[in-house]
Amino acid sequence: MMLAELPPVAVIGEPVSMVDTPALLLDLDAFEHNLRQMAALAERGGLALRPHAKAHKSVAIASAQIAQGAAGICCQKLSEAYPFAAAGVKNIFISNQFAGPKKVAMAVELARQAELSVCVDHPAQVRALGEAAQRHGVRVAVLPEIDVGHERCGVADADGLLTLVDAIAAQPALSFAGIQAYHGGAQHISDWVQRRDVSRRSAELTAQFLRCLEAHGIRCSIVTGGGTGSAEFDVENGVLTEIQPGSYALMDRHYGSLEWLGTLQLQHSLFIAATIMSTARPGKAVCDVGLKSVAVDSGLPEVWQQRDADGLRYVGAYDEHGMLETGGDRRDRLGEPFLLVPGHVDPTVNLYRELVCVRRGRVEGLWNIDARGLSR
């Protein structure tokens, strides 16, 4: 006898309480609000918006962002870009370094399909890519990364940047398109004023690099960077030409816990649907969302209290179990559904096959997480 297919996690039209769990829910009203907020912010500032697909990994979401005026997308890995290129996303920036012949071959393949730009911080990356691109007759735009305070990737000084600009100029198949100036740390500062100040210092550093390029007669058509946490300052600072926020569309407990004093007001649109599946111990319960269904690197998920979650607290994660304190002693809560807000959106989304899109309590659609697990 053949085994039936695994049943779908949700059926369009059913109430959200009937969705199988664990499931990743997307509240479409909140999601659309977030898309409008960020598009309006970028437009007011006269900046291009290039949302980061590493947060959602979903062609449907990228398409919605592009339909609202996004200039293209960022991907963080070459393999991650494949489903977007295959789906017809025309303009893709790999906002991260890569090394080795297998990676270069992927970049060449992507450049056949899309307008590809990539990030570098070492002349050897430029040479390897340039030679392969020329051999295969494709063109790639290259943006050296500068370190604007994050201390991760990127050249630290103008000499390093000029070396990369020269290396790009020496490769006929490559073109210098501008610079990447991303401060990851700035995104996560809770205090709004402090976040603004760090973003401003990072913009000042970027401006120094730009002046040095200008002194050598080099113009940057693109200065890209910024993220969800810094976007409202990036549009004020007047240095970036393009922002690349990712988390803003979905949000998470961490971003939700930052201070937001400006006009950018984002909403939680991403939730994990969970079910209580053991109530054997007084005052405790166990749900079906553990480490394989929610990333805990930025803290545990939080029970969404705007639903009728009645005192539940998520206090610990095992591989497949989530430990709850119930604030009560009712064993009849077995089977009770509730919602969690994940601590960190990116690695959580990466655990799921699809997003269950809901509006006003009903399932409206299922969107694939096309680049799930594509980390090469």
| Residue 216 interacts with its own copies (CB under 8 A): yes or no | no
CA distance 144 to 123: 10
Strands 322-325 and 284-287: antiparallel
**Residue in 82, 93, 209, 255 binding its own copies, rule: CB under 8 A:** 82
Question: Do 53 and 371 form a contact (C-beta atoms < 8 A)?
Answer: yes
Strand, helix or coil for residue 74: strand
CA distance 252 to 301: 9
Q: Which is nearer to its own copies, 75 or 303 (CB)?
A: 75
In degrees, to the nearest 5, what angle opens at C-alpha 85 toward C-alphas 82 and 91? 125
Strand, helix or coil for residue 172: coil
Distance in Å, CB of 63 to its own copies, minimum: 17
| Residue 183 interacts with its own copies (CB under 8 A): yes or no | no
Residues 284-303 that bind its own copies (CB under 8 A): 286, 288, 290-293, 295-297
CA distance 230 to 200: 9
CA distance 75 to 57: 9
Per-residue x/- track, 306-345, its own copies (CB under 8 A)? -----------xxxxx-x-------xx-xx-x------x-
| Residue 105 interacts with its own copies (CB under 8 A): yes or no | yes
| Residue 281 interacts with its own copies (CB under 8 A): yes or no | yes
| Residue 139 interacts with its own copies (CB under 8 A): yes or no | no
| Residue 25 interacts with its own copies (CB under 8 A): yes or no | no
Burial of 258: CB neighbours in 10 Å, binned 0-12, 13-18, 19+ = middle
Q: Which is nearer to its own copies, 47 or 118 (CB)?
A: 118
**Residue in 240, 249, 351, 363 binding its own copies, rule: CB under 8 A:** 351
| Residue 13 interacts with its own copies (CB under 8 A): yes or no | no
Q: Which residues pair with 222 in a beta bridge?
A: 178
- One-letter amino acid of 67: A
**Residue in 27, 41, 58, 121 binding its own copies, rule: CB under 8 A:** 121
Distance in Å, CB of 302 to its own copies, minimum: 17
| Residue 130 interacts with its own copies (CB under 8 A): yes or no | no
Q: What would the two tokens of residue 39 be?
A: 């598009």
Stretch that binds its own copies, among 35-43, 148-156, 216-224, 226-234 (CB under 8 A): 148-156
Q: Which is nearer to its own copies, 124 or 193 (CB)?
A: 124
Query: Quick one: which of 212, 244, 125, 103 has its CA closest to 174?
Result: 125
Query: Quick one: which of 332, 340, 337, 336 has its CA closest to 280?
Result: 332
Length of the chain: 376
| Residue 220 interacts with its own copies (CB under 8 A): yes or no | no
**Residue in 252, 352, 358, 363 binding its own copies, rule: CB under 8 A:** 352
Question: Which DSSP helix (H) or strand (E) runs through 303?
Answer: strand 302-303
Stretch that binds its own copies, among 20-28, 61-69, 205-213, 237-245 (CB under 8 A): 20-28
Distance in Å, CB of 215 to its own copies, minimum: 22
Q: Which is nearer to its own copies, 234 or 354 (CB)?
A: 354
Stretch that binds its own copies, among 92-100, 203-211, 220-228, 303-311 (CB under 8 A): 92-100
